[in-house]
Structure 1
Amino acid sequence: MDVELVRLQPWADGDFWLLERLNSPEMTAHLGGPEGEAQLEARHRRYVGLGRGCMYRVESAGSGETVGSIGFWEREWRGETVWETGWGVLPEFQGRGLAARAARAIVDVARAAGGNRYLHAFPSVDHHASNSVCRKAGFTLLGEVEFEYPKGSWITSNDWRVDLQG
């Protein structure tokens, strides 16, 4: 079986084009829809300057092509500080297992970063592909939660978690 590997490259100034590609109606259907230009520019600045955690451009290790993004950052969740992760794979690269491989890689990176015991992902309950990524990447489903994303908008999400000390 030929498994396509991924490589994580820290988010850089020149990666704004990827954020624009990931901002399509198709890619943001489960995230409240596309953001405006000012919101995208602010997001890009956050990605470049992320203090605790890191955003990455995901590359196919074989071809070097950029296939998407993934990252992890700190958030407060149920009274404790945890890592949260999120990802996106460009449409032309979907269905190849790249997101699950990137998610397994981000688990390793978050584990090495230390500081927080748990890494969570909060895909919408209706986002079957992202929930499948969580399952394939070894996350444990804790159940449904009401989750605010984007700010001011509440969605029903699944709370998936990896114990980074386990």
Structure 2
Amino acid sequence: MERTEASSVRIEPWSDSDLELLRRANAPELMNHLGGPESDEQLTGRHSRYVALSADRTGRGRMFRITLPGEAEGVGTIGFWERTWQGQEVYETGWAVLAEFQGRGIASAATAAVAEQARAEHKHRYLHAYPSVENGASNGVCRKAGFSLMGECEVEYPPGHPLLTNDWRLDLHPER
């Protein structure tokens, strides 16, 4: 399959119609670094939170579906949301690209696009990502998108389950 040009990757606000995309992104091979697939009940709750976050205009964050020209359905998910990290309010980002679309630069392009969305909020200075230390592909996305590796850390994901991750940080407003 031909490599996708980064400029053709788009992110579109999450909507009520995106539940099936979330189900497709819940595949075992996409969730193996995140504690495994979620139940349908958990996915429905997550979808409701994504819809609410995307409708919120207070700068708490946004969720998006990743799209490509010529593809009728979304090819992945990405977003950013607020969290407190080491006593500071920051944004966190996370993504999933469906298996059949991986290895084409889609996640890196979508991450750059979501960083621009977070930057446009003018609310928090930093955007963090916390991929598992064992997830080479997601750590590569962070590197390619210009994040700086701050070091290893432990986060709970899913809640109640410790996960050894890398803390990647992108300065949204380096001029400050």
2:29 is aligned with what amino acid?
Answer: E
Matched, 1:34 2:41: no
1:27 aligned counterpart, secondary structure: helix
Matched, 1:49 2:70: no
Consecutive unaligned residues of structure 2, counting only runs of 5 or more, are: none
Q: Aligned equivalents of 2:4 and 2:46: distance in 1?
A: 35
Pick from 78, 88, 113 the counterpart of residue 80 of structure 1. Answer: 88
Q: Is the 8 A contact 2:4 2:106 kept in 1?
A: no
Q: Aligned equivalents of 1:114 and 1:44: distance in 2?
A: 26
Q: Name 1:152's counterpart in structure 2.
A: 160
Q: Name 2:23's counterpart in structure 1.
A: 20
Q: How many residues align?
A: 165
Q: Name 1:122's counterpart in structure 2.
A: 130
Q: Deviations over 1:132-162 (max 9, x none)?
A: 0000011000000011111000011000000
Q: Name 1:137's counterpart in structure 2.
A: 145
Q: Deviations over 1:41-71 (max 9, x none)?
A: 10000000014110000001x3244210100
1:147 aligned counterpart, secondary structure: strand
Q: Aligned equivalents of 1:47 and 1:2: distance in 2?
A: 26
Q: Give 1:3 shift.
A: 2.0
Q: Aligned equivalents of 2:67 and 2:26: distance in 1?
A: 18
Q: Is the 8 A contact 2:31 2:37 kept in 1?
A: yes
Q: Give 1:101 shift.
A: 0.3
Q: Name 1:95's counterpart in structure 2.
A: 103
Larger strand fraction of residues: 1
1:30 aligned counterpart, secondary structure: coil
Consecutive unaligned residues of structure 1, counting only runs of 5 or more, are: none
2:115 aligned counterpart, secondary structure: helix
Root-mean-square deviation (Å): 1.3
Q: Aligned equivalents of 1:93 and 1:18: distance in 2?
A: 13
Q: TM-score, length-normalised on structure 1?
A: 0.96
Q: Aligned equivalents of 1:132 and 1:45: distance in 2?
A: 30
Matched, 1:63 2:70: yes
